[in-house]
Structure 1
Amino acid sequence: MSLDIESSSAATAPPGAPAPSPAELAARHGLTVSGARPGLGAYVRQLWGRRHFITSYATARVSAQYTRARLGQLWQVLTPLLNAAVYYLIFGLLLGTDRGVDNYIAFLVTGVFVYTFTQSSVMAGVRAISGNLGLVRALHFPRASLPIAQTIMQLQQLLMSMLVLFVIVLMTGELPGPSWLLVIPALLLQSVFNAGLALVMARLGSKMTDLAQLMPFILRTWMYASGVMYSISHVAAHAPQAVKILLGLNPAAVYIDLMRFALIDSFTSEQLPPHVWAVALGWAVVMGVGGFVWFWKAEERYGRG
């Protein structure tokens, strides 16, 4: 190949003039490095051009996920419900963490459903590249399509589960009100945050093959620190101020609290951390934009090595 380029360089150079370098010759004829990372703006445009592929891929994965299970898509709802039942038995009845919490069933189920969305997005992001190496190596497309599609897949599952969540909340005595509309911006901000986090985990998971085995332990610890089964404001009432600040900045807890505030009348603004909407927006922007840029910087390395 180098001999052919040098021969071509010599053939195109005027007599007595220095032959152009291979890089100059490639630029002259519009040749680019195979698999080179495009600029950030071009990458965003490529990703937007694949938007139909992203949504179709996510929908197909949702449909195929439980095809071998007898109950099929019903498991999308049964899984968080069974988790909520187990947590209610252990934390509500045995450990008594329902003390100080009105309408504990709605409180708990809302926390489980919302946290499951983030947890599932993280686990899907870890495997987004490493679990699709055949696709990554065979086709040229923006690799960010995969973790973003995985997040959309988890969002679709959550939206189906939300119907059951609304029924449970209604059965516990809550009535629909204007505050229920806050579910939309809260879910939108959480989706952006989850997508950015999935992009971060996809880059890490593409090189760290054991990350998928480690993440369940990290996610379980994060869940216990996010107030899924208990009220953070009640448990941390006498904690040091630094602990209260850290718990209030926990993104998983922030999005859970916003959803509870929207759906449960007894969950008032006094139980929310200060400036909760600003914190939710900040996490969405920082993780969404930062995760996307960090993933893009390794675009040419995915699927290699």
Structure 2
Amino acid sequence: MYARLKFLELMAELNETTFEAFFHRLMCARYPEFLDVRTHGNLGDQGSDGLMLHESKLYASYAPQTVSATEIRQKIRSDLAKALEKRADQFNTFVFVHNDRRGMHPEIATELSDQQRAHPDLQFQQMGSRKLWHECMQLDVALAEDVLGCQIPIQPVVHGIGMEDLAPLLKHLRDQRRAADPLMPLAEVDPRKLDFNGIQEEAREDLLRGMRQSHLVEAFYAGTLRAVEHDEVAQGFRVYYEQVRRDFPDPEDVLWQLEMYVLGNGSVPPRTQRAAWVVLAHFFERCDIFDAPPPGWSGPLGIPA
């Protein structure tokens, strides 16, 4: 958003040579094969403000302080005539670059259409502020800052749908897990639920490890004051699980999305990450996330549920 606002400011301020310099910076940052043609003595620019070698495109830019359709039509004709005279074998597409933020003037569109009919062997395109912005959006931050001439204040996007509600629980688990017995027997969980949902290898180990201490989650929510909160959090897990399972068929990817639901997508300390898997194990055991095997389902060894 900040870069977009800065770009719009530039489009309002730049004209003539300053606009051409901006166009050159942008295209050189985007395309290694772009040639930023400058005027040189009596040669001028030979009808070109830029050439794209691989695509055989010639760019002619025009950014007056005040828009005059008649002057712009004359400019297009003049640049095209010079380009055909001096660079006929160097391009097959003529691109008119302008700074009109409102779009293309109807008479300019008509002029380009007329030139297309007059020169059927050439292609004619226009490049206004919308297309220039689309090019800007393809740049990485360092290049965008150079093109826009400013620092872009970007912070890592960290989000977690459940973070606000789960922050006290994660703190509780970080504090209590050290005192819990890491070797205590697992609560009775049918391993066929893991099989039924295709959870294997590391993800399976992480869930089983979390199950050893999932009773801490139950203890945290014990009592009438937190019962409603527990139900609300469980409902949040159920709804989010149904959303991500549609987009991520691999159960390991689903668990990864659920982990981000708890923690956000930023880096967290290992203790916090382990606490998150205790939370996931708890809601897995409650069947708020992933499905229980249906009655009569046989696991991979043919043992009936």
Same fold (TM over 0.5): no
TM-score by length of structure 2 reads 0.22
Q: Which has the higher contact order (CA 8 A, sep 6+)?
A: 1
TM-score by length of structure 1 reads 0.22
